[in-house]
Chains A and B, each alone.
Chain A
Amino acid sequence: MLTLSPFYHDLLSALNQGLLMSVALIVPSACGGVLIGIVAGTIRAFGQPWMRKIGDFYAALFRGTPLVVQLFILYFGLPNLGIYLSPYSAAVIGFILCSAAYQSEYIRGALLSIKKGQYLGAQALGFSTRQTLQSIIVPQAIRRALHGCGNEIIYLIKYSSLAYIVTCMELTGEGKTIATEYFRFTEVFAVIAVYYLILVSLAMLALKKIEKLLYIPGFGRN
């Protein structure tokens, strides 16, 4: 039976607990980010002019300000307006809004890259605009956006570490507590890095799977 020194014992149990919180942050944030990103991206590409303006403003705001500032405003600023968020909700909401802003850009780019002939082909068969988008354009755009969206999810996994600054104790936060306690920063952060590396590798594997699942000749690899 392998016995660990008290330091490593404390570190691993803290990090494992933090890992659970990290996963609990990342999964809903990634899903929410993709979903809202698809909606926002579609509006920004094809919405009425006033809707596009709102979408563009949203993307500019959340891509244009640091995530830390956004989280601070959600957690420390909103109580001034009488809105109290738990650390966890503040972090997830912040991540979703930030991630979706980036995702919307990938989606928008993919939507606009679909050739005009695809619209004409659908219109000529009597498709309505909504049917054309839903059945023809979006399924193609998703495949074109896949790599960008995956990239953003990998980013999200790493910036989820910012949750600890609004006191949501995830991987980095738990580790930092141990590091301060034992004053052994190098080892602690090295181990944290390995945890993130594993998380990202798993995400990359999952993305590869999805890529394979959605593969169609003519899209992506040959």
Chain B
Amino acid sequence: MNNAAAPTVPILQAENLSKSFSGQRILKGVSVGLGRGEIKILIGPSGGGKSTLLQCLNCLVLPDEGSISLSGQVIDLHDKKNLYQLRQQVGMIFQDFNLFDHLNALDNITIALRKVRKISRSQAQERAMLELEQVGLGNKAELYPAQLSGGQKQRVAIARALAMDPQVLLLDEPTSALDPELIGEVIAVIRTLAGKGMTMLMATHQISLISNLADEILFMEAGVIVEQGEPAQLLCPGCGSKSVGFCERLSEIADGDGTC
């Protein structure tokens, strides 16, 4: 749990983001801000624009309209250098990991440090080992993605993102592609991160993460944030919010995996 007081200048602030794909508006003017140490959780039905929002936030998808600022500085979305810098500050965890298939766990981490941060090979390896140990994979450094389980892959992906010292971590359904018995190990890593005060915006259907970790819940539907508030507000039984209905359905599916 994280109880950081909201600071005056958010680390990451997006205003009025809009995005269309082939004429269909996926994001309709979404604004979201993250203060240092805050954890916000995106929920809502599939196709509601959660992934697109996250990808817009570090410009993997360029928004059609709107602005993004990092620590108060507006990012020039048309300047590539600016984008590369933004992405170094804003880490991203994907549903399907996206580890580099031709590199072992260690080199998946060192390559970004060496190529992007221009750190020497030996220093990069030292740092990478440290991050791997943090996620409990110090003994898997030499293994390639094809030799790792889904949960291990996701933990390597998290270690890789953290090695870049990001100010914010965006997580796009980090446990959705995992077998049920592997979800726990990834959740444990995310909880540890939360405990250390990492600023995070996470899309998830994992009920135990939603109620326990969120400082704020954003319910997104049809490209708009329709509800926003603290879990205690949105998830109190019988308050009639969309969020509580959604979470109740998730709990039924998860079969008592947690309570909303």
What is the chain B residue whose CB lies nearest that of A121? Answer: B98
Which residues of B does A touch, CB under 8 Å? 58, 60, 80, 84-85, 87-88, 91-92, 94, 96-102, 111-112, 115-116, 143-147, 157, 160-161, 164
Given contacts A120-B60, A216-B144, A218-B145, is CB(A125)–CB(B116) below 8 Å?
A: yes
Contact between B116 and A126 (Cβ–Cβ < 8 Å)? yes
Give the residues in chain B near A213, CB-CB below 8 Å: none
Q: Which of A80-136 contact B (CB under 8 A)?
A: 117-118, 120-128, 131, 135-136
CA distance A126 to B147 in the complex (A): 26
Q: Shortest 3 CB-CB distances between A and B: which pairs?
A: A218-B146, A121-B98, A126-B88
Cβ-based interface call for A217 (8 A): yes
Partner of B102, one of A123, A125, A140: A140
Q: A122 to B115, alpha carbons, bound, how many Å?
A: 11
Instruction: List the interface of chain A (C-beta within 8 A of B).
Output: 117-118, 120-128, 131, 135-136, 139-140, 143, 216-219
Q: Are B116 and A217 in contact (CB under 8 A)?
A: no
Set of chain B residues within 8 Å of A127, measured between Cβ atoms: 84, 112, 115-116
The total of Cβ contacts below 8 Å across the A-B interface reads: 77
- Residues in chain A near residue B100, CB distance under 8 A: 118, 121-122, 136, 140
Question: Complex Cα distance A140/B103, Å?
Answer: 9
List the B residue with the shortest CB-CB distance to A214: B102
Min C-beta distance of B97 to chain A, whole Å: 8
22 inter-chain pairs at a CB distance below 8 angstroms, sorted by A residue, are A118-B98, A120-B98, A121-B99, A121-B100, A121-B157, A123-B87, A124-B58, A125-B87, A125-B116, A125-B161, A126-B84, A127-B112, A127-B115, A127-B116, A131-B116, A135-B115, A140-B100, A140-B102, A216-B144, A218-B101, A218-B146, A219-B102
Q: In the assembled complex, which residues on chain A have CB atoms less than 8 Å from the CB atom of B111?
A: 135-136
What is the chain A residue whose CB lies nearest that of B58? A124
Cβ–Cβ < 8 Å partners of A135 in chain B: 111, 115
Other A-B pairs, 11, CB within 8 Å; known A125-B112, A135-B111: A117-B97, A117-B98, A120-B92, A124-B60, A124-B161, A125-B116, A125-B164, A127-B112, A216-B144, A217-B147, A219-B101
A219 to B96, CA, bound (A): 18
| Closest A residue by C-beta to B170 | A124
- Looking across the interface, which residue of chain B has its beta carbon closest to that of A123? B60
Of B85, B98, B146, most buried by chain A (CB within 10 Å of CB) is: B98
A-chain residues with CB within 8 Å of residue B94 when the two chains form the complex: 117, 120-121, 124
Q: How far apart are the CA atoms of A121 and B115 in the complex, in Å? A: 14
Residues of B within 8 A of A126 (CB): 84-85, 87-88, 112, 116, 164
Q: Is the CB of A216 within 8 A of B102?
A: yes
| Contact residues in A for B80 (Cβ distance below 8 Å) | 128
Q: How far is the CB of A185 from chain B (nearest CB, A)?
A: 50
Given contacts A120-B60, A120-B94, A121-B94, contact A140 B115 (CB under 8 A): no
Measured between alpha carbons, how far is A131 from B100 in the docked complex, in Å? 13
Q: How far is the CA of A106 from the CA of B130 in the complex (A)?
A: 40
Whether the Cβ atoms of A140 and B101 lie closer than 8 Å is: yes
